Amino acid sequence: MELDGARETSAQEGSSLPEERSPSALGQAFSKILHRLTGRDARGVKGRAAALQDLGALIEHTECDRLFEGELRGMPQVLEQVAKTLETYAAPPKEEEGRGDSHCQVAEKAAEVGLLFLKLLGKIETSKNSLVCPARKTGLRHLAGPIYIFAITHSLEQPWTSLRSREVAREVLTLLLQVTECGSVAEFLHGKNEDEKGRFTMIMGLLKPSLNKESWKSNPAIKLVFSWTLQQVTRPWLTHHLERILPPSLLISDDYQTENKILGVHCLHHIVLNVPAADLLQYNRVQVLYHAIFNHLYTPEHDLIQVVLLCLLDLFPILEKAQQWKGDGARPTTHCDEVLQLILTHMEPEHRLLLRRTYARHLPAFVKRLGILTVRHLRRLERVIIGYLEVYDGPEEEARLKILETLKLVMQHTWPRVSCRLVVLLKALLKLLCDVARDPNLTPEPVKSALLQEATDCLIVLDHCSQGQVK
């Protein structure tokens, strides 16, 4: 066992001069075990188990001052290599390789590696108040990144995790925060205050080689670690890392798989919410964001459309900062106009209920945003509103309720143009009231009441807009 070899040479090391840069016997012992774990000898399960057992014994029986000895001996770099190798060893396989048996093996590996990380972090924790181990902080600085990536990879519920591996990974994350004296993951990443340097830059540096176009799918956990980590960092810290986080977010959102598109749009939305408008307007970044997100509107996936519309609604105020209306002539067409026009084009012939509900859910927000400028889309809005009011939308009637809300807002914002549409809108509302009243049992009573109330409110607004002609 390498542990015995390391002990035998400890006396010889004591006579060597401190300035010698030759690798220590302890470092060599770690290197040999890592070679056994990752080299050709690692193919057998017994060989890997023996290597992990030896590594655990070596960590457990090595004194703190030797484990974290200074830079001259290179032990911090050796420990960093140990942590990186263990994190890679427990990483899930490529998506196309990841099938049932592989996932079980990954979960078992993760549980074993997690126990080793707990031993290593436990060593640091017990030496926290010790004066004989001053290099502890140096060692921790090298270990924190790989251990964090391991903990996040295996603490989230994914196909390659099990209940046991998730429990161990969460214990590792908890102990990591404890030894780094951080109250939360966010504090671990960005520091306790704006002046303090956190570990977010280091984590992004470790993830960067795996977040390029050629390699980001080699490890299916990388995108999840990146996304989860990104969303822990908010204002005012996130703006300092914009150049690091924007390209990977755009890369993930541009994938052909819907789940990756959704994940990428979530990342972009977080950036929109937490980076100042001035930084997004610089170098035309906001236009890049807009076009990347806008293109997803052509995909008929209701889950994707949901996150895209939410992101666009928060992006419009930033886009409009660059378009200042000076009061002379007609107001320029905005990006909100462009998106609403496309939405209405898709809504009119749409027959899939989930997509109809998703579009209808966000229509009121677009009308509120445009205000009086909704008149530009009035003709198409009228057709969509009447068409959607005619179709039963299931027990919850979400689409029809949102369309009624949209109709009320449209009439309030564009009331001078409503009187000429009185007959068409009145017929549609009265037909809806009759359909709801005649519905024997399909719609629950609370939903019926809500529909009748919304339709009545629309009739009242319509009456005001037409100077009492409804009565």
Higher pLDDT, 71 or 354: 354
Q: Per-residue pLDDT for 272 more than 90?
A: yes
Which amino acid is present at 340? L
State pLDDT tens for residues 108-120.
999 999 999 999 8
Mean pLDDT, range 53-63, rounded to an integer: 84
Higher pLDDT, 215 or 151: 151
The long-range contacts involving 265-269, CB below 8 angstroms and separated by at least 24 positions, are 265/293, 265/296, 265/304, 265/307, 265/308, 265/311, 266/227, 266/231, 266/307, 267/226, 267/227, 267/230, 267/231, 268/292, 268/293, 268/311, 269/307, 269/310, 269/311, 269/314
Spatial CA neighbour of 270 closest among 315, 204, 304, 206:
315
Q: Per-residue pLDDT for 185 more than 80?
A: yes
Q: Which pLDDT score, from 0 to 100, does residue 17 have?
A: 31
Identify the band that residue 15 occupies on the pLDDT scale cut at 50, 70 and 90.
very low
Q: Per-residue pLDDT for 434 more than 80?
A: yes
Q: Per-residue pLDDT for 43 more than 90?
A: no
Q: Which pLDDT score, from 0 to 100, does residue 131 have?
A: 54
- How crowded is residue 210: how many other Cβ atoms within 10 Å of its Cβ? 20
Q: Per-residue pLDDT for 31 more than 90?
A: no
- Taking CA 326 as the corner, what is the angle to CA 322 and CA 328, rounded to the nearest 5 degrees? 135
Measure Cα distances from 196 to 207, 237, 355, 416 in Å: 22, 10, 46, 57
Q: Which pLDDT score, from 0 to 100, does residue 467 have?
A: 86
Cα 190 from Cα 180, distance rounded (Å): 13
Spatial CA neighbour of 164 closest among 108, 122, 113:
108
Cα 110 from Cα 114, distance rounded (Å): 6
Q: Per-residue pLDDT for 11 more than 50?
A: no
Measure Cα distances from 146 to 84, 113, 205, 427 in Å: 5, 12, 11, 66
Q: Which pLDDT score, from 0 to 100, does residue 20 have?
A: 37
Q: What percent of the chain has pLDDT over 90?
A: 56
Q: Which of 98-102, 193-197, 266-270 has the highest mean pLDDT?
A: 266-270
Q: Which pLDDT score, from 0 to 100, does residue 13 have?
A: 41
For the record, the structure tokens of 393 come out as: 């939308």
Q: What is the 3-state secondary structure of the chain?
A: CHHHHHHHCHHHHHCCCCCCCCCCHHHHHHHHHHHHHHCHHHHCHHHHHHHHHHHHHHHHHCCHHHHCCCHHHCHHHHHHHHHHHHHHHCCCCCCCCCCHHHHHHHHHHHHHHHHHHHHHHHHHHHCCCCCCCCCHHHHHHHHHHHHHHHHHHHHCCCCCCCHHHHHHHHHHHHHHHHHCCCCCHHHHHHCCCCCCCCCHHHHHHHHHHHCCCCCCCCCHHHHHHHHHHHCCCCCCCHHHHHHHHHHHHHHHHCCCCHHHHHHHHHHHHHHHHHCCHHHHHHHHHHHHHHHHHHHHHHCCCHHHHHHHHHHHHHHHHHHHHCCCCCCCCCCCCCHHHHHHHHHHHHHCCCCCHHHHHHHHHHHHHHHHHHHHHHHHHHHHHHHHHHHHHCCCCCCCCHHHHHHHHHHHHHHHHCHHHCHHHHHHHHHHHHHHHHHHHHCCCCCCHHHHHHHHHHHHHHHHHHHHHCCCCCC
C-beta of residue 90 within 8 angstroms of C-beta of residue 106: yes
Q: Per-residue pLDDT for 24 more than 80?
A: no
Least confident of 63-67, 219-223, 269-273, 386-390: 63-67
Identify the band that residue 101 occupies on the pLDDT scale cut at 50, 70 and 90.
low
Identify the band that residue 71 occupies on the pLDDT scale cut at 50, 70 and 90.
low
Mean pLDDT, range 246-274, rounded to an integer: 95
pTM for the predicted model, two decimal places: 0.88
Mean pLDDT of the chain: 85
